[in-house]
Structure 1
Amino acid sequence: MATGRSGCRRFNLAAATGRQLMRLRFSTPFSALFFALLLALFSVLSCSADIPAGENKPASVRNIILLIGDGMGPAQFGLLESYARRAPNSIYQGRPTAVSQLMQQGKVLLSDTGPHDVLVTDSACSATQLAIGEASGSEMIGLNARGDSVETILQKAKRAGMRTGLVSDTRITHATPAAFAAHQPHRRFENEIAADLLTTAPDLMLSGGLRYFLPQDAANISTEQQKQISAAQLTLKSKRTDQRNLLSEAQQQGYALAFSREQLAQQQHLPVLGLFASSAMDDAIYASQNPASAQPDLNELTRKALQLLGASEHGFFLMVEGGQIDWAAHNNDAGALLHELLRFDAAIQEVVNWAADRDDTLVVLTADHETGGFGFSYSAHDVPAARTLPGSGMRGQAFAPNYNFAPLSLLDRLYAQKKGYYRLWADTSTDASSDGQKGLPTADSLMAEVNAALDFPFSRTQAERVLRRDPNPHFDPQTDDPAGATQPHIEDFSDFYVYREERYLNALARELASAQSVVWSTGTHTAAPVPVVISGPEPILQNFQGFTQHAKLGHQLKALIKTDGTGPTELGD
């Protein structure tokens, strides 16, 4: 990506030299004045020689692209780079990741993601803070900490005459994309969020979440819509509790509809509403194994978004989310996490390629929070045998570390995973297992499925431990479903594994931890600060410094956009 100049460095050098010379004793005041004028002339000529005609215009950007890796904290950035650079069989083969390319082009900050009055954030609150540029509250969508609706950066961009777009590999009604175009007191109101999205009317929306746009009664879905949906191999299942057909409402607003890769490829004009899954889109491992699927992958969605939005004469705002990074980390699934990071990096590469020769585009990559407390760690498990090194400094001693410091081959073994834990669990679960618990695998079926999908041995004893259940200390018999009286067993820090039935996946991760040299501290989010990578014109980059906060970052991005119809410009106050 082309970058602007930050100013003439020779001018500063000349000024410094001038200060030194002015300390000299001159024979007359005229001599001192002569030297001062000479230095000033030298400074002007030096700068003029360095700056070609037209390059001294005020710094500005025409396009703003915000990339959000949901749950992508510092350790997740590290996993991506460790695999790319150090895995013996890395698919990058010496090429830099798109993330590292952005880092080379711009600058890297750290940001506190915390909400108004607590330490730890969720995706809705954090994305809202980025979107509105103000502090927000937990699980709010498009509201500030007082509960007021606040114009988002996408809505401001639209008011300024810019094109706007949202892309996610989750659902378009999910927390992160919703925060940029909806206003709701809680993220769970996805039916209302779907309606809000059409009210805001971004020019492009590409994701999953079809079920929130379909009327409760399939008879109210038009024949042509049913034909398109059926061709994409999607169901007509609805999550709405009313008969609103938001697809028809979108078409009345001028939207073209797309439900498959083929249908999306046919779209050459905005606005476009693409809904490629009933709920969430396919996970990265499954998508990579099914390239002929009707569902486009995240990099394809990003490429199409740039193609359509990039034609705007007034610039555009685009948010792209790698949302399933977060889901893999919630499940403590290291192999799936790696694949989600790789998928997001492929989407980022589309942005890097598109912006490569432009000096009018600001690209911001960050996360909404860190998920899982992920990390590699050394352990006493499977300590490697002593071996001889050829170096003279060993003085005849064997190389014998006291611990297992995690060999690089683990990176390839994580990449070799054939199923994410969530899909693995669903595939091995039965209608009724031997103990009568609906939807659970047996120890034998779980052992077989894990050994088939992962390159880490898994025993029947481990499977039995994963399937244990305990009384739920938070169960209220007066209000809760009786099925919640027990919950999957977690050995310690149990309260930090809040998604009750998904705790089985966290228990599976605990059993595999030693073999993978991977540790997780939670099944939820942490308050770890997250990286912010910013690339664009140098004078604008100077406004982003050091340790920041997501609400401040959102405020700075919103301030780039003028509302006089000329699109974005340099940062204001």
Structure 2
Amino acid sequence: MSGFKKLLTLFVVLPLSLCGCKLIENNGYDETITLPQIKNVILLIGDGMGPQQVGLLEEYATRAPQSVYQGQRSAIAKLANLGVTGLSLHGPADKLVVDSACSATQLATGVASGSEMIGLNRAGDKVPTILQQAKALGKSTGLVSDTRLTHATPAAFASHQIHRSLENAIAEQMVLSDSVDVLLSGGLRHFIPKAYMLPVKPTAFEAKLAASDLSLKSKRRDSKNILQQAENQGYELVFNQSQLKEAQSDRLLGLFANSAMVDGIEATHKRYLGQPSLRDMTEVAINKLSKNPQGFFLMVEGGQIDWAGHNNDAGTLLHEMLKFDSAVEAVLHWAKDRDDTVVIVTADHETGGFGFSYSGVNLPQAEQLNNLNRDVYKPNYNFGELALLDKLYLQKRSYAAMWKTAKAGKVHPDAELLVQTVNQNSEFKIDNTDAKAILAEQKNAFFKRGHKSLGVKTAGKINDFSPFYVYLNERPLNLIGRALSAKQNIVWSTGTHTHTPVGVFVLGPSHAIEPFSGLHTHVELGKKMQQFFTGQ
């Protein structure tokens, strides 16, 4: 037996009854009572979802004049108010600011990890994840994400790699490890061989792939067909919403996009391109996994909250939160009356340093109040109209989609076409001066030859905090956000992550969820989740 398998065995041999007993004092005598055993753990991770992003969602839900929630609380708020709330710090083992891979690893393992590592401790050793522990105990397991299945967050629960960029190896490990029963996301490009073409006489799964009209552009550099390996492992393969709906097997691999699935704005407008929604995937996963009488572990990621934060795109950020909240609502509906299930909603980190702020732009007019004194009310600053929330909701395309349209196949768009494109898709407008600032470039002061992001010599001109806008090809999107920020009463402090503690919202039997109240670290949260299965 390998050292890693021995370590995994140590995690799972203790009796589950340890999680279902409690020692109390009754009239001076110790008495052991049996509490409901936790069979199921559902972890929902809003990637990049700090308290600010949760606040944006709740402000929109309850206070936007035209809110689609019609003034009702968000699902996240409902879950929080039914359970307990805490905060969690998420820094790596030896650094201040975390990335998604390290943070998800710490949640998955309860062990401190290093930046951009997947399923490893800081020394680089493999560590059993809660998903792998659940599987070893005979439970069913699932991973759902609206990014790619091989992306940092889902990868950290089912694979072990020195760097998150090794997505081809992650795809192979996920399938061949036999540890995950339901896998639903994007990322087809890492599962098909180099220069892949469908045969003239396709197999059953290849016929379904052909019917999906997905791009078959592979990111692999070898001839390995991970789809075929998955079928050999007993997975039913599906590639669009209708195929997912018709799936019969409880062992399921669904890949619904070549790379990432549609963004939040596209999802709101039901421009799914044949894809299931994040909520659809979550509901299917729960339906499949809950058939196991031993219970299950499921991780659901709303991964593009993070991407909207990186792009400083507030309208898309709101829609990503709506998308994620719909998945939370589905879980809440299934779990709220159960005494064998714990639901945890949290984030890996906050992205963008987002926040509403008051300003000196468009100062309010004086208003005479209808009170006894007929006072004149005139605040000194613009504190932000509630109607701004509705305007954010009305954004028609993400900044990334706007930029792509404005470029029209060229390296850089014309200023006039950029103005036209943004103004057609946003309630907040730019002019030619804004467009010129968005298109302005400067020497890349952080140039590093061969670097994935910093390996270009010029980039969009960021006038403040430029060291923190490291994704140079996305700087025009950040600059659109900067151009609109005063009109939106919104500030952004970075194009990357912050160390801001994230919310932890936990629903379940009181004896099980009380330990999640308070201020924690993600390592501690990971250990607390494992206790439901290991008893330690």
TM-score w.r.t. structure 1 length? 0.86
Distance verdict in 2 for CA 1:292–1:539, change over 3 Å: closer
In the other structure, the counterpart of 1:506 is 478
Counterpart of 1:429 (choices 407, 425, 444) is: 407
Counterpart of 2:43 (choices 53, 58, 66) is: 66
In the other structure, the counterpart of 2:522 is 550
Q: 1:100 is aligned with what amino acid?
A: A
Question: Mapping of 1:14-93 within 5 angstroms?
Answer: 40=27, 56-93=33-70
* Cα deviation, residue 231, structure 1: 1.4
Q: What is the CA–CA distance in structure 1 between the aligned matches of 2:492 and 2:255, rounded to whole Å?
A: 33
* Cα deviation, residue 163, structure 1: 0.2
In the other structure, the counterpart of 1:20 is none
Q: How many residues align?
A: 515
Q: 2:387 is aligned with what amino acid?
A: S
SS in 2 for 1:301: helix
In the other structure, the counterpart of 2:361 is 381
SS in 2 for 1:180: helix
Q: Does 1:457 align with 2:434?
A: no
Counterpart of 1:204 (choices 177, 182, 190) is: 182
In the other structure, the counterpart of 1:326 is 306
Counterpart of 1:539 (choices 500, 508, 511) is: 511
Distance verdict in 2 for CA 1:458–1:151, change over 3 Å: same
Q: What is the CA–CA distance in structure 1 between the aligned matches of 2:443 and 2:75, rounded to whole Å?
A: 46
Is the contact made by 2:192 and 2:226 (CA closer than 8 Å) also made in structure 1? yes
Counterpart of 1:274 (choices 239, 254, 268) is: 254
SS in 2 for 1:139: coil
Question: Mapping of 1:180-191 within 5 angstroms?
Answer: 180-191=157-168
Is the contact made by 1:60 and 1:537 (CA closer than 8 Å) also made in structure 2? no
* Cα deviation, residue 400, structure 1: 1.1
Q: Does 1:177 align with 2:154?
A: yes
Q: 1:516 is aligned with what amino acid?
A: Q
Q: 2:190 is aligned with what amino acid?
A: Y
Q: What is the CA–CA distance in structure 2 between the aligned matches of 1:534 and 1:171, rounded to whole Å?
A: 26
Q: What is the CA–CA distance in structure 1 between the aligned matches of 2:208 and 2:115, rounded to whole Å?
A: 38
Cα-to-partner distance string for 1:63-104 (whole Å, 9 max, x where unaligned): 000000000001011001100011011111132211011111
Is the contact made by 2:256 and 2:275 (CA closer than 8 Å) also made in structure 1? yes
SS in 1 for 2:368: coil
Counterpart of 1:527 (choices 485, 499, 515) is: 499
In the other structure, the counterpart of 2:466 is 494
Q: What is the CA–CA distance in structure 1 between the aligned matches of 2:235 and 2:21, rounded to whole Å?
A: 42
SS in 1 for 2:367: coil
* Cα deviation, residue 123, structure 1: 0.2
SS in 1 for 2:301: strand
In the other structure, the counterpart of 1:127 is 104
SS in 2 for 1:484: coil
Distance verdict in 2 for CA 1:553–1:481, change over 3 Å: closer
* Cα deviation, residue 199, structure 1: 2.4
Q: 1:313 is aligned with what amino acid?
A: P
In the other structure, the counterpart of 2:195 is 217
SS in 1 for 2:331: helix
Is the contact made by 2:234 and 2:251 (CA closer than 8 Å) also made in structure 1? yes
Q: Which moved more, 1:262-271 or 1:78-87?
A: 262-271
Counterpart of 1:151 (choices 124, 128, 133) is: 128
Cα-to-partner distance string for 1:169-204 (whole Å, 9 max, x where unaligned): 000000000000010000000000101101233000
Question: Mapping of 1:305-320 within 5 angstroms?
Answer: 305-320=285-300
SS in 2 for 1:167: strand
In the other structure, the counterpart of 1:344 is 324
* Cα deviation, residue 383, structure 1: 0.8
Is the contact made by 1:60 and 1:540 (CA closer than 8 Å) also made in structure 2? no
Percent of matched pairs sharing the same residue: 49
Q: 1:179 is aligned with what amino acid?
A: A
SS in 1 for 2:376: coil
Is the contact made by 1:331 and 1:505 (CA closer than 8 Å) also made in structure 2? yes
Q: What is the CA–CA distance in structure 1 between the aligned matches of 2:506 and 2:453, rounded to whole Å?
A: 47
Structure (1 or 2) with the greater strand fraction: 2
Q: What is the CA–CA distance in structure 2 between the aligned matches of 1:67 and 1:108, rounded to whole Å?
A: 14
Question: Mapping of 1:410-449 within 5 angstroms?
Answer: 410-432=388-410, 438=411, 440-449=412-421
Q: What is the CA–CA distance in structure 2 between the aligned matches of 1:85 and 1:207, rounded to whole Å?
A: 31
SS in 2 for 1:236: coil
Q: 1:418 is aligned with what amino acid?
A: K
Q: Does 1:406 align with 2:381?
A: no
Is the contact made by 1:69 and 1:366 (CA closer than 8 Å) also made in structure 2? yes
Cα-to-partner distance string for 1:393-422 (whole Å, 9 max, x where unaligned): xx3442111110001000000001000111
Is the contact made by 1:229 and 1:235 (CA closer than 8 Å) also made in structure 2? no
Q: 1:190 is aligned with what amino acid?
A: E
Q: 1:327 is aligned with what amino acid?
A: W
* Cα deviation, residue 239, structure 1: 0.4
SS in 1 for 2:42: strand
After superposition, the CA RMSD in angstroms is: 2.4
In the other structure, the counterpart of 2:443 is 471
Q: 1:123 is aligned with what amino acid?
A: S
Q: What is the CA–CA distance in structure 2 between the aligned matches of 1:479 and 1:253, rounded to whole Å?
A: 37
Q: Which moved more, 1:537-546 or 1:202-211?
A: 537-546
Q: 2:458 is aligned with what amino acid?
A: T
Q: What is the CA–CA distance in structure 2 between the aligned matches of 1:66 and 1:479, rounded to whole Å?
A: 34
Q: What is the CA–CA distance in structure 2 between the aligned matches of 1:542 and 1:226, rounded to whole Å?
A: 48
Distance verdict in 2 for CA 1:6–1:451, change over 3 Å: farther
Q: 1:207 is aligned with what amino acid?
A: S
Q: Does 1:138 align with 2:115?
A: yes
CA radius of gyration, larger in: 1
Q: What is the CA–CA distance in structure 2 between the aligned matches of 1:85 and 1:113, rounded to whole Å?
A: 29
* Cα deviation, residue 291, structure 1: 4.8
Distance verdict in 2 for CA 1:458–1:481, change over 3 Å: closer
Q: What is the CA–CA distance in structure 2 between the aligned matches of 1:287 and 1:471, rounded to whole Å?
A: 37
In the other structure, the counterpart of 1:29 is none
Q: Does 1:250 align with 2:230?
A: yes
Q: What is the CA–CA distance in structure 1 between the aligned matches of 2:517 and 2:333, rounded to whole Å?
A: 26
Is the contact made by 1:107 and 1:534 (CA closer than 8 Å) also made in structure 2? yes
Is the contact made by 1:128 and 1:141 (CA closer than 8 Å) also made in structure 2? yes
Counterpart of 2:82 (choices 87, 105, 110) is: 105
* Cα deviation, residue 217, structure 1: 2.8
* Cα deviation, residue 233, structure 1: 1.9
Q: What is the CA–CA distance in structure 2 between the aligned matches of 1:345 and 1:470, rounded to whole Å?
A: 39
Q: What is the CA–CA distance in structure 1 between the aligned matches of 2:35 and 2:355, rounded to whole Å?
A: 44
* Cα deviation, residue 474, structure 1: 2.0
Give the gaps of 5 or more residues in structure 1. Answer: 16-39, 48-54, 433-437, 563-571
Q: What is the CA–CA distance in structure 2 between the aligned matches of 1:91 and 1:478, rounded to whole Å?
A: 46
Q: Does 1:259 align with 2:239?
A: yes
Cα-to-partner distance string for 1:285-343 (whole Å, 9 max, x where unaligned): 11222356311110000111111111111100000000000000100000000000000
Q: 2:398 is aligned with what amino acid?
A: G
Is the contact made by 1:233 and 1:294 (CA closer than 8 Å) also made in structure 2? no
* Cα deviation, residue 266, structure 1: 0.8
Q: Which moved more, 1:318-327 or 1:220-229?
A: 220-229
Q: 2:239 is aligned with what amino acid?
A: F
In the other structure, the counterpart of 1:228 is 208
